[in-house]
Structure 1
Amino acid sequence: MNEEVDHRVPVLIVGGSLVGLSASLFLGRLGIEHMVVEKHSATSMHPRGRGNNVRTMELFRVAGAEERIREAASILADNHGILQTPSLAEEGEWLFKEMDPGGGLARFSPSGWCLCSQNDLEPVLLQCARELGGDIRFSTEMLSFEQDAEGVTAVVKNRDTGEHTTVYAEYLIAADGPRSPVRERLGIGQTGPGELFHNVSITFNSKALADLVGDRRFIACYLTTPEADGALLPVDNVEKWVFHAPWQPGRGETLEDFTDDRCIDQIRRAVGAPDIDVEITGKAPWHAAERVAESYAAGRVFLAGDSAHEMSPTGAFGSNTGIQDAHNLAWKLAAVLNGWAGPGLLQTYETERLPVAQVTSARASARSVEHSHPGYAPAPGAGGGQQGGVLKVALGYRYPRGAVIGADPAQPVVPDTMQLTGEPGSRAPHMWLLNSGVRTSTLDLYERSCVLLCGTGSMWHTAAKRVAERLSIPLESYRIGSGPDADLAPADGGDWAALHGVTGQGAVLVRPDGYVAWRSESAVADPEATLYEIMASLLDLA
């Protein structure tokens, strides 16, 4: 350990955008002291990265931030679907019109999709993280870091004052973007096709555009007029808009070529209104790519978000995958730092999350093909998948290997059908319960410890308490049923055991992130010995 340091924290997070702030929120919820350094002076000012899928919203729900996020996103709450049309003067074709047609998602989750732009979401995450004690420092850049067997020593610079500070952390999370200096410093390579296409995101004001849009409350509209194609996104459905214009740097096109006059002309031609008012308020380039890091960790340093994977924006898979990276890593860091798991648990972060990124990034590229995203000219023969598979990717992904026991290592990361039936490695099923008369989801039980679900009258409940004492670990146990011994009761008469793939004498062990770690379909001769062995193996305590 370096003794000559200015600050010591268990975790240092490099990068304070969506993923870094989410990591701060999740660690703060678990009581882990940490510091976030972000080189920019504030949260994002540009409306981008707006699609937050159901799994991400579940995580924010459990972390106590969902209501605030939905409030910040209320202005676009009625926007759904993606429209494709030559211009707004025509009706066009809906690539899909509803995120959740028929409301079928409710049987899988207590949450739902949320359209909240990055510039609206980040301030909410920042406020929540700081309320939990997060030390978040903007205008602060990490200049260098070194690690040894005990921790990481980093030198950071305050970009306003020029002051250099040395920070010592037991672990470092690199959420520092697609051109991650940390990943480069570690020499971690990337796999995948690489760059796919480039756009310039143009923010503008137009009072008359809302009349052209009419009652078509889309998430995005792909405008396909030749030489004036692009994607139109509403910011407030009234006056503020974003237009993504294709950019061809490979043909010598520069950002300077996107003058205000050119942007105004392209927007007018794209929407089909040559005289409409357009006031350009900002421009920001972005690059779509498909790349996944060859490794997610080196020693005590972990990659998360864009530093670990880049994805086409179609489907908003990239930011969601990054936020879910942070959640997976946060509970494992907390378990190790608090002494109820061995360091081997941290190795499962890469084992679980890297395959998810590989499958999801390929799905994102395929969706760009399906939607003919403006500016994307895929290689001949590149195809898409079934659009109905989006929910399977967003919510149904699983961990065939990692901190799970009893999962089939040969099963696909994304199944062919939605299978949230309590299998080890899958997200635990959602079920409404009554907790002292208060309606709650099973998913609300999972955050700070592993949880054992069992029925009334079984020996699993007592076994869990004894194993928790023997191993000195947090392990909650809930008996579900209708009798006087029940801790929780089904709210709608549901059968918890059948939903989780066990009998009434079985048990289901769920991790703090809501993933099934193990299950026993029925009673066993010695539940305490069985559960002791399972917990010791799962948490690297054997």
Structure 2
Amino acid sequence: MPVANAEVEVLIVGGGPVGLTARALLERWGVRVLLVEKHGELSPFPRSRLVNVRSMEIFRRLGLTAGITAMAFAPEYGRIRFRDTLYDRDFATAAMVGINAPVPESPVTGVVTSQDRLEPTLLAAADAPVRFGVELVDLAEEAEEAEEAEGAEGVVALLLDHHSGAETRVRARYVLAADGANSTIRQRLGIGTTGPGAVGRVTTVVFDADLDHWRDRHPAGVYFTTHGYFLPLYPEGGWAWIVPTPEDVAGTDWSGLVSRALGSGADVRADVRADVRVDVLRVEHWVVNAFVAERFRQGPVLLAGDAAHAIPPAGGMGMNLGVADVHNLCWKLAGVLRGWAGPGLLETYETERRPVADRTLRQAVVNTHLMFDVQNRRQEQLSTGSAAPTEVERPWSDRYFAQLGLVLGVTYRSAAVLTDHSTPPEPSDEPSDEPSDTGTDYVPTALPGHRMPHLWLTRDRSTLDAIGEWFTLLTPDPTQWERPTTSAWPLRIEPLPHEHADLCGLRPQGAVLIRPDGHIGARWPNGLPSDSTLRQALTTLTCFTPAT
């Protein structure tokens, strides 16, 4: 069978939330994209359950928040409950701050929703072609002589359509590997990983049971019991049960196991029928991985999401970390492809995102230990033989599961960030010593490298809404910031209300330059040092010097 040929600017491999988000972002930049997914359809399993505040901010820019929220659980489900069995009373609980109620630090609220509800919304967010049932089977770098002289890179990918058996050779300037923790591309490139690796094998059992009335009286996104995790899947019904995978998978009576795990607590007769029927719909066995790739880039191939880092599920951070990856990466790819950024800008992707992945992995491990600590304390109480107290002292503060510092307090240090003195800081893989490094409390700041704080520009328009497919210069006095020499870059200059100037560390003629991903690239507290200041900053941030 002859091999067909095609050409795109970016080939995305992997049709999960990360790949689909990248497709939507790149299309906003006008980049020609093809996404391929080896499975024949979107995942039917719930998998990731949490869309955090930062991801919702990104989806707000794509116009998706209303649709995502409409299919998600109500805010009161943004809670974890610890119980002996599902029907028992709580012996500990924790709120998911930023999910269970709005927070002043953001114009949006995160939600509890299932991945199989999120993915169709992301798929519909762009028109770029998607080919399901198509697998990448070969990959090679290619550079024509004319392009080599310009420093351009290219990749030739061989794709196999499992439905028709047809092969297609696709040439792309870049490949974005979002093909999961067992990434074929990462393994093909020989990129190793650091971290514990596989830390357990678990099974997800999706089932139906008449528990809706009881669930609505005890709302939570996760019920952590001594017999596994119980997760309500959709507002209209459906459940998942997650447990360690038994040795005899083939001979397991899953309906019987789920029924026994539901239990028969003291208040079961008041809340549910003791003979509730369990209908098992699907069973999936999977491996809990914990690692970070040794590098996020090899030539024109860039890793994102679980291909770059696999995060244990405690805290719901894995998918959200991947969404933030591509939000960081896509504007850089667009800049290089559209000619207003140099290839060196792509080097800042790993410099900025790998430390965030390392830190998030550490936090997920801490979350896991803390949750098991609660269960261990409960087991110790029950083993004494006396009546167990109704509560267990929690090993965290009320704000521990807030994690706003982890998701909103991310700080980048790279050549794409200038200090207030307009010199690039030295990149560092060490954990930040700033207040937000605890992973809990978030202190808004307009220092370079930080996410621009959410401030209301008008009654219903945030500073985050001023950010898009361009650089944004926010200043109390736009008349002092002309741009006759900066037309090479997409740039908008917008007024910042004077009441916000102090919070941003600005005097009346100062300004902050915000990158397309919402992080501050530069700040001039006192105003314009020279006529060429803005041009010089954009030249440095984008690794590109336009012709004069």
2:474 counterpart letter in structure 1: L
SS for the counterpart of 2:125 is: helix
Q: Name the CA distance, whole Å, in 1 between partners of 2:45 and 2:374.
A: 20
| 1:366-405 pair list within 5 angstroms | 366-372=366-372, 387=400, 390-405=403-418
Which residue of structure 1 lines up, in the alignment, with residue 508 of structure 2?
Answer: 504
Alignment check: 8 A CA contact 1:220 1:232 kept: yes
Of 74, 77, 80, 1:79 maps to: 77
Which residue of structure 1 lines up, in the alignment, with residue 184 of structure 2?
Answer: 181
SS for the counterpart of 2:107 is: coil
Alignment check: 8 A CA contact 1:243 1:267 kept: no
1:400 counterpart letter in structure 2: R
Which residue of structure 2 lines up, in the alignment, with residue 289 of structure 1?
Answer: 289
2:116 counterpart letter in structure 1: N
Which residue of structure 1 lines up, in the alignment, with residue 225 of structure 2?
Answer: 223
Deviations 1:265-287 (A, max 9, x none): 44344877863211111101122
Q: Name the CA distance, whole Å, in 2 between partners of 1:158 and 1:517.
A: 43
SS for the counterpart of 2:460 is: strand
Which residue of structure 2 lines up, in the alignment, with residue 126 of structure 1?
Answer: 123
Q: What do you get for the CA RMSD once the two structures are aligned? A: 2.6
Deviations 1:313-361 (A, max 9, x none): 0111100000111111111001110100000001100000111000001
1:363 CA displacement: 0.4
Which residue of structure 2 lines up, in the alignment, with residue 16 of structure 1?
Answer: 15
Structure 1 residue 421 corresponds to structure 2 residue 437: no
Deviations 1:446-478 (A, max 9, x none): 11111111122652x21xx12313xx1111111
Alignment check: 8 A CA contact 1:26 1:327 kept: yes
Q: Per the alignment, do residues 288 and 399 of structure 1 end up closer, same or farther by CA in structure 2, a change over 3 Å counting?
A: same
SS for the counterpart of 1:195 is: strand
1:145 CA displacement: 0.8
Q: Per the alignment, do residues 238 and 33 of structure 1 end up closer, same or farther by CA in structure 2, a change over 3 Å counting?
A: closer
Of 136, 139, 145, 2:130 maps to: 136
1:116 CA displacement: 1.9
2:124 counterpart letter in structure 1: Q
Q: Name the CA distance, whole Å, in 1 between partners of 2:166 and 2:39.
A: 16
Deviations 1:356-381 (A, max 9, x none): 000001101111111129999xxxxx
Deviations 1:387-433 (A, max 9, x none): 15611111111112341011765684453452321111100011111
Q: Per the alignment, do residues 304 and 331 of structure 1 end up closer, same or farther by CA in structure 2, a change over 3 Å counting?
A: same
Q: Name the CA distance, whole Å, in 2 between partners of 1:87 and 1:124.
A: 34
Q: Per the alignment, do residues 268 and 418 of structure 1 end up closer, same or farther by CA in structure 2, a change over 3 Å counting?
A: closer
2:437 counterpart letter in structure 1: P
Q: Name the CA distance, whole Å, in 2 between partners of 1:368 and 1:220.
A: 14
Q: Per the alignment, do residues 89 and 165 of structure 1 end up closer, same or farther by CA in structure 2, a change over 3 Å counting?
A: closer
Q: Name the CA distance, whole Å, in 2 between partners of 1:13 and 1:440.
A: 32
Of 160, 170, 173, 1:170 maps to: 173
Q: Per the alignment, do residues 281 and 101 of structure 1 end up closer, same or farther by CA in structure 2, a change over 3 Å counting?
A: closer
1:203 CA displacement: 0.6
Q: Per the alignment, do residues 214 and 104 of structure 1 end up closer, same or farther by CA in structure 2, a change over 3 Å counting?
A: closer
1:518 CA displacement: 0.7
Structure 1 residue 117 corresponds to structure 2 residue 120: no
Alignment check: 8 A CA contact 2:228 2:243 kept: yes
SS for the counterpart of 1:404 is: coil
| 1:50-449 pair list within 5 angstroms | 50-73=49-72, 75-97=73-95, 99-100=97-98, 105-106=103-104, 108-130=105-127, 134-149=128-143, 150-207=153-210, 209-213=211-215, 215-224=217-226, 229-236=227-234, 239-247=237-245, 253-269=247-263, 275-372=275-372, 387=400, 390-406=403-419, 409=426, 412-413=431-432, 414-416=436-438, 417-434=441-458, 439-449=460-470
Structure 1 residue 519 corresponds to structure 2 residue 523: yes
1:262 CA displacement: 4.5
Structure 1 residue 467 corresponds to structure 2 residue 485: yes
Q: Name the CA distance, whole Å, in 2 between partners of 1:373 and 1:280.
A: 31
Structure 2: gaps of 5 or more residues: 144-152, 377-394
Query: Percent sequence identity over matched residues?
Result: 34
Deviations 1:175-214 (A, max 9, x none): 011011100111111001122222210011111x335445
Alignment check: 8 A CA contact 1:264 1:279 kept: no
Which residue of structure 2 lines up, in the alignment, with residue 486 of structure 1?
Answer: none
Moved more, 290-299 or 528-537: 528-537
Which residue of structure 2 lines up, in the alignment, with residue 453 of structure 1?
Answer: 474
SS for the counterpart of 1:218 is: coil
Alignment check: 8 A CA contact 1:155 1:164 kept: yes
Q: Name the CA distance, whole Å, in 2 between partners of 1:220 and 1:85.
A: 11
Q: Name the CA distance, whole Å, in 1 between partners of 2:484 and 2:260.
A: 69
TM-score (norm. length: structure 2): 0.85
Alignment check: 8 A CA contact 1:32 1:334 kept: yes
Moved more, 93-102 or 39-48: 93-102
1:160 CA displacement: 0.5
Deviations 1:105-161 (A, max 9, x none): 12x11111111211000001001122xxx1111111111110134300001011100
Alignment check: 8 A CA contact 2:12 2:176 kept: yes
SS for the counterpart of 1:64 is: coil
Structure 1: gaps of 5 or more residues: 377-382, 481-489
SS for the counterpart of 1:277 is: coil
Aligned length: 499
Q: Name the CA distance, whole Å, in 1 between partners of 2:70 and 2:238.
A: 19
2:13 counterpart letter in structure 1: V
Deviations 1:51-86 (A, max 9, x none): 01000000000111111211222x555412000010
1:444 counterpart letter in structure 2: D
Deviations 1:13-69 (A, max 9, x none): 001111110110111111111000001111111122010100000000011111121
SS for the counterpart of 1:356 is: helix
TM-score (norm. length: structure 1): 0.86
SS for the counterpart of 1:499 is: coil
Alignment check: 8 A CA contact 1:247 1:375 kept: no
1:401 counterpart letter in structure 2: S
Q: Name the CA distance, whole Å, in 1 between partners of 2:277 and 2:454.
A: 48
Structure 1 residue 479 corresponds to structure 2 residue 482: no
